[in-house]
Chain A
């Protein structure tokens, strides 16, 4: 609420500067009997931006930094015997203090926690006062300087446009920052993981059994309790993706051929969006469907044939995932097939071939790179898909090729490890980041490969 009021008053001040600047420009026109370089509202906008931008920057620096600063400063107020004790964890202590700051008191906290909380509250008050004073005064002073700059020679439109241009440029950099942030956060934690567990063990080990507490290698003397061999996860991911492809490639490809070559334009206009609905359904709904409808159905039909189907099986998850990725293949392939020039078809018909021969021998080979790319994209979708496997494929890290058993995948392990509270130091938590790193590498490699296929093998017809 405090932030809201402060932000509104900053906005109000800059709005006032807008009107001041606007009026000053109008007055200058009357005074000099001559038009200014720019329209009057550009002068207003210039003083508004002059007041608003530095203040907002200051405001965000304050809001982001004060908690970090307090956390650093509060360390002085934690008694020595607590810091030196064996199970000292600063994050927990900080949480204790924060809870007591917010009035959430469980049991009776030690005296020093209450004291630290009181100090913390006094800091919060001080920092609020400092923030208010510095933000308001910055808004007034920088706004005033902006306002002062307005005279008959000032080209405000150019100045405003420069500022807007740089705002636009900065926002396009966010995309890079996000990529860097993702890669940094994942790589950094993965490096810490590989310091605990050798990478060849991670990549080629066949047993996946992460454990908390007492299972850490470093010095606990309980080696071998938890194992981080990711092969079962890769195998599970592969198995489920293959099942999904067995469903989606034939269905998607034949649909695409039908839609682009045989269907009337009315049929096409009806069925294409209908198939795309499949891609718009949230994955959690597919997961629910897989776990509560498909899996029991497979189980009961399996028992008719004397097969023992696990209640969470790779088959159920794979089938439903296959349904989900049908539109990725059908829509993309349809577009690619449509892009094959009509002249090729006409030439083929002219030689007396049937539609079937034209499609199989002429159109499909011409469209093949695009079709392959669409399949690769569908695979990368399947590999990164999370909710279906979490809900329907199980969590047991079996190394098996039997689709009727429960398997687990890279994504579902990431979710199970990271949901809920976790210690950031343990190998178990860090292993999720290593898994994420492999996932990113695999999906990005597939995307690059898909692009490469399209670029290299695309035939330019016209």
Chain B
């Protein structure tokens, strides 16, 4: 800087010269800001787009319609519709025969290949049908069967006809059969009846999210039942009852620390304490819910305290003034007014818990479980873990199923968050 004294005229000249540059700088900063936001929104859109694009087709799959002769003798040899009898029956043989009558495979090898066109869940489908409606016996009915996942991928165009046979997962013969079925108009693309009602399965065409969904609900209810009362009680104690001293300060610091601990550490704690020391079984929603409850506790406590703090002191003073005791003030006046805020925090905490994966992997909810859990002590899995497992499988069709499961999960999370926003807007009072 030189300290030459400049006249006002020179100064205004200088400013005028520099002003264009300074304005340009200003515009640049504004542009950077816009660019940053559009970039972030762009990421969001790409994420949603790529998942919805893949996931949308995961709700659909290819079916083949076959004429099934419901022969009671063969399907239900003992005639009592018991599981045993149906198991002894030859339902899948009937399906195969019907299939063979259309595509007419020659020789044992061709028949073996042809059998695999229809999903291996075909016999279960028939036994389920006759169990629901025994009057089907003796009729010839058109029944839809899911196609094997490789055939499905072929029909979707992921497996190309042009690829040399040795590199393809399905042979030329099978493609021939599919063309034949297609010509007869027996193949259809429909809403999958497995994705929402099926359970975990190694066969992607039969895999569904029912088991994981129920598991998620059970885990979440355990989490809610533990975390909500505990969190609200803690918040009330710290905000309304406890005197500010070293102990309460220590508790506060602890709660803030808990909020900062990575979620995977809660899983380790669950493994070391609930499973290793208390000897609880692995993979059960009860343990999962307990671990998630500890994880969401800080969220609930912090938001509940904020809600309680937002209730103006005049409300308390008025209640004391007409002779209410401390607990009466809290339970009759403060809590009802703070409830919307507490609920909002709880819903946000539950949404966190619903999407959490890592701690549940630690306590064994990643096991392959076919049965739908009936109670909190039955082994089960949850939606995010199911997504994680499916994402690891090699079969092409699992990608669509995974995306479909993600759509269901995101749907729940978005509606939970929307509910929280609605509660905050509608019920929260401004003082």
- Stretch of B35-43, B122-130, B144-152, B308-316 lying at the A interface: B35-43
Query: Does residue A46 face the partner (Cβ distance < 8 Å to B)?
Result: no
Q: How far is the CA of A359 from the CA of B15 in the complex (A)?
A: 19
Query: Does residue A50 face the partner (Cβ distance < 8 Å to B)?
Result: no
Q: Are B362 and A354 in contact (CB under 8 A)?
A: no
Query: Does residue A262 face the partner (Cβ distance < 8 Å to B)?
Result: yes
Q: Are A165 and B268 in contact (CB under 8 A)?
A: no
Query: Does residue A281 face the partner (Cβ distance < 8 Å to B)?
Result: yes
Q: Which residues in A have their C-beta under 8 angstroms from that of B421?
A: 273
Query: Does residue B251 face the partner (Cβ distance < 8 Å to A)?
Result: yes
Q: Which of B28, B44, B417 contacts A278 (CB 8 A)?
A: B44
A182-B269, A383-B262, A433-B272 in contact; A285/B410 too (CB < 8 A)?
A: yes
Q: How far is the CA of A134 from the CA of B327 in the complex (A)?
A: 33
Query: Does residue B156 face the partner (Cβ distance < 8 Å to A)?
Result: no
Q: Which residue of B lies closest to A169 (CB)?
A: B237
Q: Are A447 and B257 in contact (CB under 8 A)?
A: yes
Q: Which residue of B lies closest to A94 (CB)?
A: B279
Q: Are B262 and A175 in contact (CB under 8 A)?
A: no
Q: Which residue of A lies closest to B19 (CB)?
A: A354
The smallest C-beta distance from A154 to any residue of chain B, in angstroms, reads: 16
The residue in A164, A352, A387, A440 that gathers the most chain B C-beta atoms within 10 A of its C-beta is: A387
Q: Are A161 and B35 in contact (CB under 8 A)?
A: no
- Stretch of A211-219, A248-256, A452-460 lying at the B interface: A248-256
- Stretch of B60-68, B95-103, B134-142, B383-391 lying at the A interface: B383-391
Q: Are A432 and B268 in contact (CB under 8 A)?
A: yes
**What is the 8 Å Cβ interface bit string for chain B, positions 388-431, against chain A (1 contact, 0 not)?**
10010000000100110010011001000100010000000000
Q: Are A175 and B251 in contact (CB under 8 A)?
A: yes
Q: Are A444 and B260 in contact (CB under 8 A)?
A: yes
The residue in A157, A164, A185, A284 that gathers the most chain B C-beta atoms within 10 A of its C-beta is: A284
Query: Does residue A111 face the partner (Cβ distance < 8 Å to B)?
Result: no
Q: Which residues in A have their C-beta under 8 angstroms from that of B385?
A: 284
Q: Which residue of A lies closest to B356 (CB)?
A: A282
The smallest C-beta distance from A30 to any residue of chain B, in angstroms, reads: 24
The residue in A71, A359, A414 that gathers the most chain B C-beta atoms within 10 A of its C-beta is: A414
A67-B279, A386-B264 in contact; A164/B357 too (CB < 8 A)?
A: no
Give the contacts of B247-303 with A (CB-CB under 8 A): 250-251, 254-258, 260-269, 271-273, 276, 278-279, 294, 297-298, 301
**What is the 8 Å Cβ interface bit string for chain A, positions 51-75, against chain B (1 contact, 0 not)?**
0000000000000100110010000
A386-B262, A439-B262 in contact; A418/B40 too (CB < 8 A)?
A: no
Give the contacts of B12-31 with A (CB-CB under 8 A): 15, 22-23, 25-26, 28-30
Q: Are B43 and A323 in contact (CB under 8 A)?
A: yes
- Stretch of B1-9, B197-205, B227-235, B336-344 lying at the A interface: B227-235
Q: How far is the CA of A387 from the CA of B36 in the complex (A)?
A: 26
The smallest C-beta distance from B278 to any residue of chain A, in angstroms, reads: 7
Q: Are A356 and B261 in contact (CB under 8 A)?
A: no
The residue in A67, A169, A253 that gathers the most chain B C-beta atoms within 10 A of its C-beta is: A169
Q: Are A179 and B254 in contact (CB under 8 A)?
A: yes
Query: Does residue B334 face the partner (Cβ distance < 8 Å to A)?
Result: no
Q: Are B241 and A165 in contact (CB under 8 A)?
A: yes
A255-B33, A271-B41, A443-B261 in contact; A171/B233 too (CB < 8 A)?
A: yes
Q: Which residues in B have their C-beta under 8 angstroms from that of A129?
A: none
Query: Does residue B358 face the partner (Cβ distance < 8 Å to A)?
Result: yes
Q: Which residues in B have their C-beta under 8 angstroms from that of A240?
A: none
Q: Which residue of B lies closest to A173 (CB)?
A: B251
Q: Which residue of A lies closest to B413 (CB)?
A: A280
Query: Does residue B166 face the partner (Cβ distance < 8 Å to A)?
Result: no
Give the contacts of A169-202 with B (CB-CB under 8 A): 169, 171-176, 178-179, 181-182, 185-186, 188-189
The smallest C-beta distance from B376 to any residue of chain A, in angstroms, reads: 11
Q: Are B273 and A185 in contact (CB under 8 A)?
A: yes
Q: Are B263 and A186 in contact (CB under 8 A)?
A: no
A175-B255, A282-B357 in contact; A386/B263 too (CB < 8 A)?
A: yes
Q: Which residues in A have their C-beta under 8 angstroms from that of B93?
A: none
Q: Which residue of A lies closest to B326 (CB)?
A: A161
A171-B229, A285-B387, A439-B265 in contact; A262/B237 too (CB < 8 A)?
A: no
Q: Which residue of A lies closest to B238 (CB)?
A: A172
Q: Which residues in B have their C-beta under 8 angstroms from that of A287?
A: 388, 391
Q: Which of B25, B37, B366, B413 contacts A275 (CB 8 A)?
A: B37
Q: Are B257 and A179 in contact (CB under 8 A)?
A: yes
Q: Are A284 and B36 in contact (CB under 8 A)?
A: no
Q: Are A282 and B413 in contact (CB under 8 A)?
A: yes
Q: Which residues in A have their C-beta under 8 angstroms from that of B242?
A: 169, 172
Query: Does residue B350 face the partner (Cβ distance < 8 Å to A)?
Result: no
A178-B294, A444-B257 in contact; A359/B29 too (CB < 8 A)?
A: yes
Q: Are A326 and B40 in contact (CB under 8 A)?
A: yes
Q: Which residues in A have their C-beta under 8 angstroms from that of B262?
A: 383-386, 411, 439-440, 443
Q: Are B35 and A254 in contact (CB under 8 A)?
A: yes
Q: How far is the CA of A174 from the CA of B406 in the complex (A)?
A: 34
Q: How far is the CA of A360 from the CA of B29 in the complex (A)?
A: 10
Q: How far is the CA of A262 from the CA of B28 in the complex (A)?
A: 12
Q: Which residue of A lies closest to B43 (CB)?
A: A323
Q: Which residues in B have their C-beta under 8 angstroms from that of A289?
A: 47, 50-51
**What is the 8 Å Cβ interface bit string for chain A, positions 79-112, against chain B (1 contact, 0 not)?**
0000000000000000000000000000000000
The smallest C-beta distance from B175 to any residue of chain A, in angstroms, reads: 27
Q: Which residue of B lies closest to A286 (CB)?
A: B47
Q: Which of A174, A271, A278, A419 contacts B230 (CB 8 A)?
A: A174
Q: Are B261 and A440 in contact (CB under 8 A)?
A: yes
5 other A-B residue contacts (CB within 8 Å) besides A165-B327, A278-B43, A283-B357: A171-B233, A271-B41, A280-B417, A293-B50, A354-B25
Nearest 4 A-B pairs (CB), nearest first? A258-B33, A384-B262, A282-B355, A254-B36
Question: Would you give 27 A-B contacts (Cβ < 8 Å), ordered by A?
Answer: A64-B278, A157-B325, A168-B241, A169-B237, A172-B238, A175-B251, A178-B258, A178-B294, A185-B273, A254-B32, A254-B33, A255-B36, A259-B37, A274-B41, A282-B384, A284-B385, A285-B47, A285-B409, A286-B47, A289-B47, A354-B26, A356-B25, A357-B26, A391-B391, A418-B361, A419-B361, A436-B265
Which residue numbers of A lie inside 8 Å of B, CB to CB?
64, 67-68, 71, 157, 161, 164-165, 167-169, 171-176, 178-179, 181-182, 185-186, 188-189, 250-255, 257-259, 261-263, 271, 273-275, 277-278, 280-289, 291-293, 323, 326, 330, 352, 354-357, 359-360, 380, 383-387, 390-391, 411, 414-415, 418-420, 424, 432-433, 436, 439-440, 443-444, 447
